[in-house]
Each structure stands twice: as structure tokens, then as C-alpha cells.
């Protein structure tokens, strides 16, 4: 069809003439690249947060904290309360008895590798049931800590972010000395940012008597939560609040979500700026080529071919920019592990995660920029009057 | 200047192009203003710290307590002027979402260590005499409309009251302000003794110590002396200046500064390229006219100057609008996020910085076309080259 | 030197280098232009007539030789001094008018006055007078885009005379106009020459236009070929 071949011809001509407008085109490519890169970086960060926290919480694990405690750090659970909870309905039992894990959560300091400054790290005291409760737990190196000793195991994420936690090292927290005997993984979730040791040892070293801070229990099914809620209400000695572990972590993730929101806002604002820049570039491009366009029209090319030619130019430039931005985001951010302050004032290690879905969003952004910055100038190009070709150059 | 009319007419030739270019600059400075204000708010804890104030915390972690006995021991160390102490209460008002920074302190010494706070003597002595009394910072009082004489129920998300609840009824005996409007007054103080008597765990420990030194030059010495005296004890200490302590805290957020810098840098770089390009092309279109001006007798320097003024006017116009937008955004955000970021404000420093960048932007985007115009040969210019 | 000589060109040479070639436009050109003359310069393209005009206007510099204007050498002036000299002594009129498209007639005419120290009021007065002279004072607020070719050229003439220069240099002033309009413009030039004592040098390839001048010079390959006297005496009324 004549229309098609005309349009193709114009498209090819426009793109061939891009080198003449090198800096202009470069400006548009850069603008698109930057916007896409920033968008992807923040999306990857948000995804990383989500994964870290989501996968940590199981739907079928009940999580008990004292009422009005914002986090594990702030809560207290007495020993006899733990015993009462052991008898709650709906809890699964294994060969060691009901899968109930009373745990402690204290904060110690470590040196961050990147900044060489101090940061807070959680030290969790738990027992064998606690370890068993986390189904994605695997011991990567070394062995489990021996109960009753100053041995601890370190999460893989923590190991990567902080100095001095390698297998076999001794650590000093205050006057207490610990030895790292193992490295564990829990499939990349928040537990990997922790140190684990025997609950009893922590109790004595930190003067906790016989009390704990939180309790976890494995349920036979997520619905059992309701039964436990009723159980707690009926017993005046229990002042715990129960929720699924999953919903607890969802709450914790809120503070991190602020960063994600901030990222989205910045990306959007920058996208607007880039769009204005792209529009400017395209309008100038059309102005630069006015005589050319008019000459083609005088020869017999249709309005549509001028329109399509300009659209194609805009889309090619913005998509090129989008690809560059995606590449940059992938190279710099994908798999980048870093840590930041989570709830409870401790460090949460998370990984930037770029996925196919995210790249799609980046591509969409590039296309939108290309389309919007192309359509108006293209319209103008289509309306260039043929007479312009005959006017003397001013 | 006589040339201003000509410059103005050149700028406004193509309205759409002017709008788009201004908009791009507007966005960049909007981002700059807002993000720099955010950075300032995060750092304000560091900036507002007093020079001669030290904080002593448990070496293991600041969430671990220190024995009360340490207070006197520290007071006796050479170079220490005043010592006070505080315990974190973890407070909220009515519901856990309404968090309120609340601390149990020593009513006698607290305000001596924090000299920048202002509490009328009358209110101070009333508070000191009332075990259940509390003083509230002005910003906090405003938020909940509290007045002297009100009794407010403060709950803790960490501690339990001996009476079985987690709430303490406190009577507001005074409202304190600060000498510097940027100092935070969004928190509440009540009696340490009362707290210890009424909370389930009781005991005699303190959360942390704050002290002033007699001379800022002694800071390091005093810090070392304090930490040495508690070395190898059950609760070793870590003493640092207040500024260092706050800074370390912010650093935990993980190099936010770098991210912020990165974003702003990218934004500026992009507009530099886009606007610079636009300027070059806009002025290239006028090659013939510039040649004509020169034939009329306009000197090359004059033409050079006109173009630089044009690019600078453009940068300032868009930039000032962007700064204005940032100001509004910050105003809105500081109201909405007052609890997390008490010091979110677009201050003079940021404005001056921004003005400097606007000038730089104007000069950089204008220099290439201006030089070209300066060197333009009239003959080739008239031919439209 | 003669008091009534405005321009004296002595041994002027002008050439430029194109790639490896040396192209010479003038080689040892000598000429004199008397004050109050109306000179038309004709010749085929490439003969150097525009280059000559540029040299006279201080817009281009000779490779060697001397150009004297009113007993002053202008070929040795610095670029900024030349700009000043032009502002004080020369008015230009181009084939395509070269008005600033975003300024109205009044503002366009005012441009040369921005180079003086006149106050805004004084400038306005002169602009009005100039526009009146060319018969366009009622179009002072119109933009170039709203005017015909002839009107634009008249605005250009007003701009060229507003600071009362001694010399007017015209490069194909009627090249883009129809016959009738061209004649109007040329008559205006004659008026400026006859009644206001301006020296005019006009480059043209239109013989009909050249007839309005007092002298015609023919230029070919950088040399004057013939010289024709057209109108020694002032043009009489028709």
C-alpha cells in the first residue's frame, strides 16, 4: 500500500537524519533513560522490601505479643503465660511437644561494611522448636549452636552486610563473649538479618529472669487463629495479642513503605520534567525539518507520512533511552544487597529485585514518554503547508 | 538596561518552547528544594546538637539500661559540668498510632543540661513539686491542644503500670519552648522517680545519661574518662557527643544522603542537557539576526552579554517558580509528617544554594551559544550559515 | 585628500582559501566614492559586488590594501571600534529586509538608537520622524509579519536612517519586490540622496533599478569594467 511505503520511507529518512540533530536526540534519550532508571530503582527497592518482609511471615504461624507493644522489642511474656499458651487450641505438635517457641529479641551493635559505622542488629534467643517453626531454615555452613553455651549462628544476609561475623569468629557484646558456629539461610527473608542463640543463655546474660518477649506457635491451619483469640480472652492471666506472623510483618513493613512512596513520587515528578524536555526536543526537531517536510509534501507524500515519521522518531528515541535506563538499573541495582533501618530500630537487609514485570513497567514509561512527546509535534508536522518548501530561507 | 526589551522579546518568541523549557527547570528545582529540605530535616538532629553535650549509653546497645549509680560517678569526673538522665517511655496517647515521645527524667537537672529549652521558673518549680507532673513541649501541646492544668493519660507500649494497665495519668504543669525556633519541642517529660515507683519492673536503672562539659575542648577527654571508668564492668558505656550520636543514628537509614544526592544530580544533569540543547538551537535559529545586530553596530561583547542574560533569566524564572513549588510542598509535608520529621522547612540556606545553581545553570546553558554569537562572522552570518 | 571624497580604496585585495585553493576576489582594486554620490554597482554573480559592499561597510576586512573613509583608515580598526564606526556612519538595507520578526515596526527602527546615549523620549521622537519620512507612521505598532514586502523594506530604510548616518549601503534592495513597489523604494533612496545629502552605494543586478542612481559601475571578476554616468544632476520632476 502506498501509504505504508510512504510512511516507511519517511521514517527511514527521519532516523537517518538523526545524527544531524545529535545533541537534541541525545537529550531525549538521556531524559528517558534517567526517568526509567530511577523508576526501576525505586520499584526494585520496594519489591525487595516486600519480599524480605512478606516471606518472613507465615500465615499459619500465630505470633503473640503483649498488648500495646509495637514490636517484639517492646513486648514481655512471662514464663507462666507461655505455659498457658502451650495449651491453646489449634497448635500443631511434633515429637518434642506442641510447636510453641517463646523467644527473646535484644539489640546489639555491628559495623556496617559499606559505611563502616555502627548499626543495630537483632539477637534472637530461641530454642529448637523455634528453629523448626521456620520451615525455610537451612544451615549453610558450620553447625547449630549448643544450648546453654555462648554460641550463636548468623544469618546469611547479616553476614554479607556486616564486618566480623564470619564462621569461627568471636564477638564481644558488652562483657559477653560469643562464638559464631554456623551460618544459616531462611530463603532471603528478614530472619537472615539476625543472630540466633539459645534463649536461656540470653535470659541470663541480659537479666531477663525467666521471661520472654514473644511467642510463636505453629497452627494446624490459619483459621485456628480465631480459636486462640477466644482462648486468650477467656483467660484473665493472659494479656497477649495474637495475629498471624504474616500480618505482623506486614505492619512492620509500613515504615519501609514510606521510602517506596517517596520513590514513586520522585519518579513521577521527574517523568513530568523529562516529558517536557522530550516535547521540546521533538518540537525543535520538527522545526528543524520544516523545509524537508514541506518538500516531501510538494513531491506528493501524504500528511500521514509526516505524522508517522515524527511519531516514529519520538518512539525510537524514547525506547532507546528506556533500554539504556533499564540496562543501567539492571547493572547497578539488580541483586544489590543493602540494609536500612526497619521497625524496632534494627537493620533490615534487603535485596533490590528487578523482575520481568518491573522491566515491563519501565518499558511502558518509555513508551508513554515517546508517545506523548511525539503526538503533538507529529500533528504539527502533518500540518506543515507545502508552500513552505518554496519560501526563501530566512 | 536598554537591551532588556530585546532579550525579553527573544525569550518569548515561541511561547510553547518557553513554557516547556521553564517547566523542565521548574521540575528540577522543585525536586532540589524538596529533597534538600528533607535532607536538612534528617540532619537537623545533628545540627541542632549542642557543642558541649555528651550522651552516654550502654555499649552493647542504646536499648540496654545503665545502673542509676553511674549518674553520681559521672558527675565526679573531671570536666563534667552537669549530668542528667532519662528513660525511654515509649508513649502513645489514646491509641498506639498516636505515638508521643515521652521520657522519664530528673526534674532538677534536665533543664540545666538542655539550656536551649525555656521553661518559666514558676512552672518548673510546680512541676518539681508534683510527682505526677509532666511538662510538655510547645509543638506537642499544640498538636493535641493541651494546656497547663490538663490531666492526660499516657500509655506505654513497653512498660506496664503496677495498677494492671499500661497507662499513667500525668498532670501538665508547664509548657516549654526553645530559644531557637528550629529546636524540636515535640515531646513530654515526667518524673523518673514516679515512673520507677509505678512500673512493674521497678528497679534503678536509667536509659542513658546526658551531660555537659565545662569546655568543648575537653569533650574527647571527658568521653574517654567516662568510658574508661566503666570498662570491664557489667554495663560498659559508650560516650559520644550529641552530634555524633544523632549522626550515627541517621546513618543507620543507610546512606540516605547518597540516594538523595544521586536523585538530585540526575535531575540536574538531565535538565542541563535538555535546556542547554534548547538554548543552542534557539539561538542558532537567530544566526541571521545576530549578524544583522552586528552590522547595525552592536559590539560582539554586547551580543555575548545579551545571550547570557537571556539564559540566566530563563534559569531564574523557572528556578524561582520551582523553588516556590518546593516551598509549598514542604509546607504541606511538614504539617502532614510533623511527627516523623519535625524540622522539615525550606530555609534560607537552601534558597541561597538554589539561587547559586540557577545562576550556574544559566551560565552553563548560555555559554556555548553566547560564544558562538561572539565569534560569529557577519558575512557568513548574513548568509544564514 | 579631497574634501569631497568619502571613500578611498587603495590597492585593495580580498581573497579566501577554499580547501587547497586560493580564491581571489579583488586584486589591487582602486576606487574613490565622492560624498553625496548615488552609486549603483552591477555585475554578474561572483564578480565581487557584495564583497565590495561588505568591505565598504566594515563588515569584512581586506586581505591587503587601504580603505579610507573620510580620511580615516577603517581597515585597521579593531572589531569593537568598527562596530562603533558602523553605528555612527552606516545604514544597511538588505534584499530580504532583515527585520526582527518579534519586534514591531517602531521597535525595529529603534534598534540603532540603543547604541546611543539618547533618552527613551528622544529615541521615540527620532523613530517617529523616521517612520514619517518613509510614510509608515500609522503602522508603527505592526509586526513585520503583518506587512507587505514594500512596507517592510520601508521600515528597514527608516531603521537605516534613524541615527542619521552619512552612508547608506544597499544590497539588492528591490530584489524581492514587484516593479511598482521597487520604484517607490528607489525613489525614496533618491530622496535621501538628494534632499538629505546621503551617500548611497547600491548593489543590484536589475538595470531598471540602476537607472535611479547617478553613476553605475560594472564589476566583473573583481575589476571595474565600465563606468556609466546616469544622473549628474538631480533627477528632475517627471
CA separation for the pair B239, B249 (Å, rounded):
14
Given this model, what pLDDT does residue C128 score? 95
Determine, for residues B297 and C88 on separate chains, whether the beta-carbon distance falls below 8 Å: yes
Q: What residues of chain A have any CB closer than 8 angstroms to a CB in chain C?
A: 392, 394
Higher pLDDT, C172 or A287: C172
Q: Is C95 on the interface with B (CB under 8 A)?
A: no
Q: Is C196 on the interface with A (CB under 8 A)?
A: no
Higher pLDDT, C53 or C227: C53
> Is B385's pLDDT higher than 50?
no
Q: Is A16 on the interface with B (CB under 8 A)?
A: no
Mean pLDDT by 10 residues, chain A (394 residues): 77 79 84 88 81 76 81 83 87 86 88 78 90 88 92 90 90 87 87 91 86 90 87 84 83 70 82 88 82 82 86 91 91 74 68 84 91 91 80 54
- Reported pTM: 0.77
Nearest-Cα distance to chain A for C81, in Å, is 29
Determine, for residues A173 and B158 on separate chains, whether the beta-carbon distance falls below 8 Å: no
Subunits adjacent to chain C (3 or more Cβ pairs under 8 Å)? A, B
Domain ranges across chain C: 36-69+78-229
Task: Tell me the CATH architecture of domain C36-69+78-229.
Answer: 3-Layer(aba) Sandwich (3.40)
Kindly state the cell numbers that stand for C148.
507587505
> Is C233's pLDDT higher than 70?
no
Kindly state the cell numbers that stand for A100.
510453641
Nearest-Cα distance to chain C for B364, in Å, is 25
> Is B321's pLDDT higher than 60?
yes
User: Which chain C residue is nearest to residue A393, measuring alpha carbons?
Assistant: C96
Three-state DSSP class for residue A101: strand
CA separation for the pair C226, B152 (Å, rounded):
110
Given this model, what pLDDT does residue B324 score? 94
> Is B76's pLDDT higher than 60?
yes
> Is C164's pLDDT higher than 80?
yes
Three-state DSSP class for residue C142: coil
Determine, for residues C111 and B379 on separate chains, whether the beta-carbon distance falls below 8 Å: no
Higher pLDDT, B340 or B276: B276
pLDDT band at C236 (very low <50, low <70, confident <90, very high): very low
Q: Percent of chain B, pLDDT > 90?
A: 42
Q: Percent of chain B, pLDDT > 70?
A: 94
Subunits adjacent to chain B (3 or more Cβ pairs under 8 Å)? A, C
Three-state DSSP class for residue B208: strand
User: Which chain B residue is nearest to residue A36, measuring alpha carbons?
Assistant: B266
pLDDT digits (tens, 9 = 90+) for A189-223: 788 889 999 999 998 888 888 889 899 999 888 88
Determine, for residues B293 and C98 on separate chains, whether the beta-carbon distance falls below 8 Å: no
Residues 6+ apart with CB under 8 A from A65: A71, A72, A75, A77, A213, A214, A240, A241, A248
Cβ pairs bridging B and C (under 8 Å): 66
Given this model, what pLDDT does residue C74 score? 92
pLDDT digits (tens, 9 = 90+) for B343-382: 677 788 899 999 999 999 999 999 999 999 999 999 888 8
Q: Which of A391, A393, A394 is the mutation pick for testing C, counting most C CBs within 10 A? A: A394
Given this model, what pLDDT does residue A161 score? 85
pLDDT band at C238 (very low <50, low <70, confident <90, very high): very low
Give the residue from B319, B314, B324, B278 showing the smallest Cα distance to B28.
B319
Mean pLDDT of chain B: 87
B314 Rama sector, left if φ>0, alpha if ψ -120 to 50, beta otherwise: alpha
Angle at A274 between CA A273 and CA A276, to 5 degrees: 65
Most confident of A189-193, B10-14, C23-27, C44-48: B10-14
Buried b (16+ CB within 10 A) or exposed e, A217-227: bbbeeeebbee
pLDDT band at B125 (very low <50, low <70, confident <90, very high): very high
Determine, for residues C115 and B378 on separate chains, whether the beta-carbon distance falls below 8 Å: no
CA separation for the pair C161, C73 (Å, rounded):
23
For residue A73, CA distances in Å to A84, A345, B153, C212 come to: 22, 9, 23, 102
> Is C143's pLDDT higher than 90?
yes
Whether the Cβ atoms of residue C185 and residue C153 lie closer than 8 Å to each other: yes
Given this model, what pLDDT does residue A342 score? 66
Contacts of B277 in chain A (CB under 8 A): 23-24, 26-27, 281, 284
Determine, for residues C80 and B289 on separate chains, whether the beta-carbon distance falls below 8 Å: no
CA separation for the pair B234, A233 (Å, rounded):
40
By Cβ distance, the residue of C57, C83, C101 closest to B299 is C83
Whether the Cβ atoms of residue A367 and residue A315 lie closer than 8 Å to each other: yes
Given this model, what pLDDT does residue B45 score? 67
Sequence-ordered alpha helix ranges (H) in A206-289: 224-234, 245-252, 254-288
Average pLDDT for C207-225: 87
Determine, for residues A280 and B90 on separate chains, whether the beta-carbon distance falls below 8 Å: no
pLDDT band at C231 (very low <50, low <70, confident <90, very high): low
Residue B213: its H or E element: strand B208-213
> Is C218's pLDDT higher than 50?
yes
Confidence check on the interface: ipTM exceeds 0.90, yes or no = no
Given this model, what pLDDT does residue C126 score? 95
Residue A360: its H or E element: helix A356-382
pLDDT digits (tens, 9 = 90+) for C50-103: 899 999 999 989 999 999 998 899 989 998 899 999 999 999 999 889 999 999
Amino acid at each position: 500500500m502506498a501509504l505504508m511505503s510512504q510512511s516507511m520511507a519517511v521514517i527511514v529518512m527521519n532516523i537517518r537524519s538523526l545524527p544531524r540533530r545529535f545533541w537534541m536526540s541525545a537529550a531525549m534519550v538521556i531524559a528517558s533513560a534517567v526517568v526509567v532508571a530511577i523508576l526501576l530503582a525505586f520499584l526494585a527497592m520496594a519489591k525487595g522490601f516486600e519480599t524480605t518482609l512478606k516471606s518472613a511471615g507465615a500465615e499459619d504461624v500465630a505470633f503473640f505479643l503483649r498488648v500495646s507493644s509495637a514490636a517484639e522489642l517492646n513486648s514481655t511474656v512471662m514464663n507462666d503465660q507461655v505455659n498457658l499458651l502451650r495449651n491453646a487450641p489449634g497448635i500443631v505438635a511434633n515429637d518434642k511437644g506442641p510447636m510453641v517457641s517463646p523467644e527473646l529479641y535484644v539489640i546489639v551493635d555491628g559495623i556496617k561494611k559499606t559505611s563502616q559505622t555502627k548499626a543495630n542488629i537483632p539477637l534472637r534467643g530461641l530454642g529448637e522448636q523455634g528453629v523448626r517453626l521456620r520451615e525455610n531454615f537451612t544451615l549453610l555452613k558450620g553447625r547449630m549452636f549448643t544450648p546453654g553455651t555462648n554460641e550463636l549462628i548468623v544469618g546469611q544476609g547479616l553476614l554479607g552486610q556486616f564486618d566480623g561475623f564470619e564462621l569461627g569468629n568471636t564477638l564481644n557484646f558488652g562483657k559477653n563473649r560469643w562464638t559464631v558456629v554456623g551460618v544459616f539461610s531462611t530463603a532471603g527473608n528478614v530472619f537472615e538479618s539476625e543472630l540466633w542463640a539459645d534463649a536461656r543463655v540470653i535470659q541470663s546474660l541480659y537479666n531477663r529472669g525467666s521471661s520472654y518477649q514473644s511467642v510463636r506457635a505453629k497452627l494446624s491451619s490459619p483459621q485456628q487463629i480465631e480459636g486462640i483469640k477466644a482462648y486468650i480472652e477467656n483467660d484473665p492471666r493472659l494479656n497477649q495479642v495474637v495475629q498471624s506472623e504474616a500480618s505482623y510483618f506486614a505492619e512492620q513493613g509500613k515504615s519501609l513503605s514510606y521510602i517506596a512512596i517517596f520513590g514513586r513520587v520522585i519518579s513521577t515528578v521527574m517523568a513530568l520534567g523529562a516529558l517536557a524536555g522530550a516535547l521540546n526536543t521533538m518540537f525543535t526537531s520538527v522545526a528543524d525539518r520544516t523545509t524537508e517536510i514541506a518538500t516531501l509534501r510538494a513531491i506528493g507524500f501524504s500528511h500521514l507520512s509526516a505524522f508517522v515519521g515524527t511519531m516514529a522518531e519520538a518512539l525510537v528515541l524514547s525506547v532507546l533511552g528506556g533500554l539504556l535506563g533499564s540496562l543501567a538499573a539492571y547493572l547497578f541495582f539488580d541483586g544489590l544487597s543493602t540494609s536500612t533501618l526497619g521497625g524496632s530500630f534494627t537493620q533490615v537487609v534487603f535485596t533490590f529485585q528487578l523482575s520481568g514485570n518491573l522491566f515491563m513497567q519501565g518499558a511502558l514509561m518509555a513508551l508513554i514518554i515517546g508517545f506523548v512527546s511525539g503526538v503533538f509535534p507529529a500533528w504539527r508536522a502533518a500540518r506543515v503547508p507545502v508552500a513552505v518548501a518554496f519560501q526563501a530561507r530566512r | 538596561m536598554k537591551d532588556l526589551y530585546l532579550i525579553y522579546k527573544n525569550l518569548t518568541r515561541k511561547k510553547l518552547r518557553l513554557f516547556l523549557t521553564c517547566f523542565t527547570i521548574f521540575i528540577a528545582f522543585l525536586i532540589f528544594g524538596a529533597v534538600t529540605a528533607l535532607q536538612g530535616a534528617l540532619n537537623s538532629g545533628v545540627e541542632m546538637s549542642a557543642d558541649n553535650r555528651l550522651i552516654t549509653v550502654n555499649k552493647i546497645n542504646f536499648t540496654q539500661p545503665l545502673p542509676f549509680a553511674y549518674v553520681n560517678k559521672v558527675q565526679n569526673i573531671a570536666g563534667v559540668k552537669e549530668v542528667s538522665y532519662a528513660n525511654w517511655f515509649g508513649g502513645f496517647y489514646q491509641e498506639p498510632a498516636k505515638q508521643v515521645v515521652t521520657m522519664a527524667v530528673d526534674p532538677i537537672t534536665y533543664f540545666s543540661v538542655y539550656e536551649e529549652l525555656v521553661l518559666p521558673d514558676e512552672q518548673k518549680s510546680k512541676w518539681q513539686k508534683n510527682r505526677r507532673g509532666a511538662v510538655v513541649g510547645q509543638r506537642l501541646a499544640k498538636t493535641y491542644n493541651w494546656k497547663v492544668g490538663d490531666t492526660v493519660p499516657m500509655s506505654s507500649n513497653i512498660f506496664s503500670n503496677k495498677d494492671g494497665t499500661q497507662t499513667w495519668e500525668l498532670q501538665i504543669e508547664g509548657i516549654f519552648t526553645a530559644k531557637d525556633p528550629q529546636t524540636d519541642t515535640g515531646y513530654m517529660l515526667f518524673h523518673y522517680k514516679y515512673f520507677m515507683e509505678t512500673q512493674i519492673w521497678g528497679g534503678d536503672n536509667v536509659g542513658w545519661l546526658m551531660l555537659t562539659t565545662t569546655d568543648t575542648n575537653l569533650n574527647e577527654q571527658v568521653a574517654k574518662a567516662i568510658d574508661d571508668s566503666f570498662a570491664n564492668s557489667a554495663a560498659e558505656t559508650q560516650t559520644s557527643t550529641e552530634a555524633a550520636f544523632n549522626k550515627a543514628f541517621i546513618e543507620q537509614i543507610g546512606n540516605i544522603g547518597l540516594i538523595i544526592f544521586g536523585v538530585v544530580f540526575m535531575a540536574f544533569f538531565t535538565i542541563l542537557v535538555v535546556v542547554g540543547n534548547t538554548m543552542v538551537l534557539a539561538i542558532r535559529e537567530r544566526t541571521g539576526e545576530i549578524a544583522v545586530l552586528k552590522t547595525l553596530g552592536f559590539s560582539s561583547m554586547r551580543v555575548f552579554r545579551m545571550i547570557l542574560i537571556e539564559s540566566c533569566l530563563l534559569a531564574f524564572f523557572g528556578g524561582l517558580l520551582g523553588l516556590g513549588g518546593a516551598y509549598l510542598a514542604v509546607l504541606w509535608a511538614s504539617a502532614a509528617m510533623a511527627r516523623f520529621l519535625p524540622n522539615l522547612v525550606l530555609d534560607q540556606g537552601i534558597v541561597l544554594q538554589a539561587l547559586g545553581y540557577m545562576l550556574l545553570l544559566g551560565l552553563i546553558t548560555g555559554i556555548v551559544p553566547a560564544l558562538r554569537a561572539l565569534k560569529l562572522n557577519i558575512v557568513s552570518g548574513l548568509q544564514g550559515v | 585628500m579631497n574634501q569631497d571624497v568619502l571613500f578611498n580604496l587603495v590597492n585593495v585585495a580580498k581573497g579566501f582559501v577554499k580547501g587547497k585553493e586560493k580564491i581571489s576576489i579583488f586584486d589591487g582594486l582602486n576606487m574613490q566614492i565622492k560624498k553625496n554620490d548615488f552609486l549603483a554597482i552591477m555585475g554578474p554573480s561572483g564578480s565581487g559586488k557584495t564583497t565590495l559592499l561588505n568591505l565598504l561597510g566594515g563588515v569584512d576586512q581586506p586581505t591587503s590594501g587601504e580603505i579610507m573613509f573620510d580620511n580615516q583608515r577603517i581597515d585597521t580598526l579593531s572589531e569593537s571600534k568598527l562596530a562603533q564606526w558602523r553605528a555612527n556612519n552606516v545604514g544597511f538595507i538588505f534584499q530580504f529586509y532583515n527585520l526582527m520578526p518579534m519586534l514591531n515596526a517602531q521597535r525595529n527602527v529603534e534598534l540603532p538608537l540603543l547604541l546611543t546615549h539618547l533618552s527613551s523620549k528622544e529615541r521615540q521622537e527620532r523613530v517617529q520622524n523616521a517612520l514619517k519620512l518613509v510614510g509608515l507612521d500609522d503602522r508603527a505598532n505592526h509586526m513585520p509579519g503583518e506587512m507587505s514586502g514594500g512596507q517592510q523594506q520601508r521600515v528597514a530604510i527608516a531603521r537605516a536612517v534613524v541615527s542619521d548616518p552619512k552612508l547608506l549601503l544597499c544590497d539588492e534592495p528591490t530584489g524581492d519586490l514587484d516593479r511598482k513597489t521597487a520604484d517607490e523604494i528607489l525613489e525614496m533612496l533618491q530622496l535621501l540622496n538628494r534632499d538629505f545629502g546621503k551617500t548611497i552605494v547600491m548593489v543590484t543586478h536589475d538595470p531598471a533599478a540602476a537607472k535611479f542612481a547617478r553613476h553605475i559601475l560594472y564589476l566583473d571578476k573583481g575589476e571595474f569594467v565600465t563606468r556609466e554616468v546616469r544622473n549628474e544632476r538631480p533627477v528632475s520632476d517627471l
